[in-house]
């Protein structure tokens, strides 16, 4: 099938899916989600991972309950991030003529397999329709350990941590056919200095791609390697690309003390050229930070706009990996930006805090709310069960299109869970209610699926039926 090069400016005929929205404002005004899909994985790799369906309709008798688990065909995938085959920007992709937000693509971060699930005809019970083998990803794109994916102008962009051989780099982005999900090729045509990979996003209106850095598979799969962290060997840069050609344009080094530049959240306005990047830790003081990238003349630049300090703690209350430091680092492991580009949410997975910032002025974020749940030492309980200390902490955060609801899960990555929460992580999903006009957060006491509802699986990323803040990009204002 043909593939376009960059967004077109007329709506393509043939698009009938009402969950593809011309503009962010149209997405915000659409009906609220009634289902959430959650990636669940078995830490022991003894049973299949699963896509979990959860009821998010407050009027439903099963609100806040797990409705279904669709098992993967094998074991050992470690489902992590996943995404839709199509998002709202497909309305302007010349090569995505009859797009439907129908298929969920689930990469196995350890197995390097990619599973395709169809949410039709029964959205509660998606069914497996295809598996892309690790060998195909390696042979056609030269990559392994698929991590994050988004529907893009030339295909589905699938970021991968490792090279085909497995343990080392360079990581990068594989392009998949929009319709068949066959692996087409590597996206990069001129890689430049880029070696580490993690997230990939873009500014569609100006033909700019952005990638971030974690580490190669051998650097991350068995947990944080203290020697690498203190030696400042993990990723600490942002990369900018020509989106249609895959040509590297610019590298911005944030400073090697800022270790692990992970989630990218560009403005949803397709003509804007700014976005936020989360940094897990500063090895000099264990603080975490959020950086703003933006165009400055012919090039991009970045500045730190949020810093979250570590919190002192007694050594005996800390896991072994943190005992030498006498503190709990915030560990910013996810951030998310509301569809109206007004509110930024920051997960501090170490201290157990979810923070809300007003970013109407992205250069000067203003803290407007926070909620504490779990945490390495605090283990703050959910209001529905105040006597039950929580393990894990807010990690992945998803925002409804209208900005009124947030969904939090508590597992980061199996081997990293074991280091920071060695007592184990009992899975949970929490819903927060947000005020998108004035700011502020409250925990919904009715929504708290946890424990055995997930049949032994830990939970990571959530996506919402009909789209959400992190899975959609737009081509129109």
Cα gap 405→469, rounded to integer Å: 11
Radius of gyration, CA atoms only, the chain:
20
pLDDT digits (tens, 9 = 90+) for 304-347: 999 999 999 999 999 999 999 999 999 999 999 999 999 999 99
Contact 447, 63 (CB under 8 A): yes
Give the pLDDT of residue 93: 77
pLDDT digits (tens, 9 = 90+) for 142-197: 999 999 999 999 999 999 999 998 789 999 999 999 999 999 999 999 999 999 99
Cα gap 267→263, rounded to integer Å: 13
Contact 247, 193 (CB under 8 A): no
Start-end of H helices in 19-161: 24-29, 134-141
Residues 6+ apart with CB under 8 A from 23: 474, 476, 477
Give the pLDDT of residue 94: 64
Cα gap 176→179, rounded to integer Å: 9
Q: How many CB atoms lie within 10 A of CB 132?
A: 23
Tokens 């397999």 appear where?
Answer: 113
Tokens 């959430």 appear where?
Answer: 36
pLDDT digits (tens, 9 = 90+) for 71-114: 999 999 999 999 999 999 999 876 677 889 999 999 999 999 99
What HEC string does 331-384 produce?
CEEEEEECCCCCEEEEEECCCCEEEEEECCCCCCCEEEEEEECECCCCCECCCC
Give the pLDDT of residue 97: 72
Tokens of 365: 């974020």
Residues 6+ apart with CB under 8 A from 316: none
Residues 6+ apart with CB under 8 A from 389: 379, 380, 381
pLDDT digits (tens, 9 = 90+) for 279-313: 999 999 999 999 999 999 999 999 999 999 999 99
Q: What percent of the chain has pLDDT over 90?
A: 93
DSSP letter at 33 equals P
Selection from 131, 122, 125, 120 nearest residue 73 by Cα: 131
Using 50, 70 and 90 to split pLDDT, how confident is the model at 475?
A: confident
Using 50, 70 and 90 to split pLDDT, how confident is the model at 12?
A: very low
Tell how many helices (H) and how many strands (E) occur in the chain: 5, 30
Using 50, 70 and 90 to split pLDDT, how confident is the model at 6?
A: very low
Using 50, 70 and 90 to split pLDDT, how confident is the model at 218?
A: very high
Dihedral sign, CA of 281, 285, 287, 289? negative
Give the pLDDT of residue 3: 31
How far is Cα of residue 101 from the mean position of the Cα atoms in its chain?
18
Contact 302, 232 (CB under 8 A): no
Residues 406-435, mean pLDDT to the nearest whole number? 97
DSSP letter at 15 equals -
Contact 293, 274 (CB under 8 A): yes
What's phi and psi for 246, nearest 5 deg? 75, 25
pLDDT digits (tens, 9 = 90+) for 245-288: 999 999 999 999 999 999 999 999 999 999 999 999 999 999 99
What's phi and psi for 160, nearest 5 deg? -135, 140
187, HSE (Cβ side, Cα atoms, 13 Å)? 33
Q: What is the mean pLDDT of the chain?
A: 95
Contact 8, 94 (CB under 8 A): yes
Give the pLDDT of residue 165: 83
pLDDT digits (tens, 9 = 90+) for 378-412: 999 999 999 999 999 999 999 999 999 999 999 99
The SS3 assignment for 421 reads: coil
pLDDT digits (tens, 9 = 90+) for 111-125: 999 999 999 999 999
Strands (E), 112-255: 114-118, 127-132, 143-151, 156-163, 172-176, 183-186, 200-203, 208-211, 237-242, 247-253
What's phi and psi for 260, nearest 5 deg? 75, 90
Cα gap 296→273, rounded to integer Å: 10
Pairing state between β 405-409 and 343-348: unpaired
* pTM of the predicted structure, to 2 decimals: 0.96
Contact 238, 262 (CB under 8 A): no
Give the pLDDT of residue 167: 84
The SS3 assignment for 280 reads: strand
Give the pLDDT of residue 9: 32
Give the pLDDT of residue 355: 98
Cα gap 67→45, rounded to integer Å: 23
Give the pLDDT of residue 95: 65
């Amino acid at each position: 099938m043909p593939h376009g090069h960059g967004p077109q400016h007329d709506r393509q005929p043939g698009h009938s899916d009402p969950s593809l929205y011309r503009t962010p404002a149209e997405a915000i005004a659409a009906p609220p989600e009634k289902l959430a899909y959650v990636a669940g994985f078995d830490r022991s790799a003894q049973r299949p991972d699963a896509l979990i369906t959860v009821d998010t309709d407050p009027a439903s008798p099963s609100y806040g309950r797990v409705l279904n688990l669709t098992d993967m065909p094998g074991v050992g995938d470690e489902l992590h991030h996943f995404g839709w085959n199509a998002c709202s920007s497909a309305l302007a992709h010349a090569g995505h003529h009859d797009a439907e937000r129908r298929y969920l693509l689930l990469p196995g971060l350890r197995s390097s397999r990619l599973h395709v699930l169809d949410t039709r005809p029964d959205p509660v019970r998606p069914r497996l329709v295809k598996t892309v083998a690790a060998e195909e990803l390696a042979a056609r794109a030269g990559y392994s350990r698929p991590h994050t994916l988004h529907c893009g102008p030339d295909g589905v962009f699938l970021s991968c941590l490792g090279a085909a051989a497995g343990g080392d780099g360079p990581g990068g982005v594989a392009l998949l056919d929009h319709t068949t999900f066959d692996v087409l090729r590597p996206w990069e045509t001129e890689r430049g200095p880029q070696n580490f990979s993690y997230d990939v996003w873009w500014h569609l209106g100006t033909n700019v791609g952005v990638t971030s850095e974690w580490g190669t598979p051998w650097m991350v799969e068995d947990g944080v390697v203290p020697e690498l962290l203190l030696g400042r060997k993990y990723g600490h840069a942002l990369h900018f690309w020509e989106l249609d050609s895959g040509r590297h344009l610019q590298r911005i080094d944030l400073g090697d003390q800022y270790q692990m530049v992970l989630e990218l959240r560009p403005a949803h306005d397709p003509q804007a050229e700014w976005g936020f990047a989360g940094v897990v830790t500063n090895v000099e003081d264990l603080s975490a930070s959020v950086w703003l990238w933006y165009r400055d003349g012919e090039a991009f630049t970045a500045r730190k706009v949020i810093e979250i300090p570590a919190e002192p703690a007694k050594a005996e209350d800390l896991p072994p990996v943190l005992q030498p430091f006498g503190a709990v680092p915030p560990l910013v492991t996810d951030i998310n930006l509301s569809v109206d580009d007004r509110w930024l949410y920051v997960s501090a997975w170490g201290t157990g805090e979810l923070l809300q910032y007003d970013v109407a002025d992205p250069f000067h974020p203003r803290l407007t709310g926070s909620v504490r749940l779990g945490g390495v030492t605090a283990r703050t309980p959910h209001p529905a069960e105040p006597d039950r200390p929580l393990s894990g902490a807010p990690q992945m955060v998803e925002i409804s299109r209208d900005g009124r609801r947030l969904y939090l899960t508590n597992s980061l990555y199996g081997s990293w869970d074991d280091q920071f929460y060695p007592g184990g992580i009992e899975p949970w999903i929490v819903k927060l209610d947000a005020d998108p006009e004035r700011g502020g957060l409250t925990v919904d006491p009715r929504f708290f699926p946890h424990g055995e509802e997930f049949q032994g699986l830990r939970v990571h990323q959530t996506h919402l039926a009909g789209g959400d803040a992190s899975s959609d990009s737009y081509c129109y204002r």
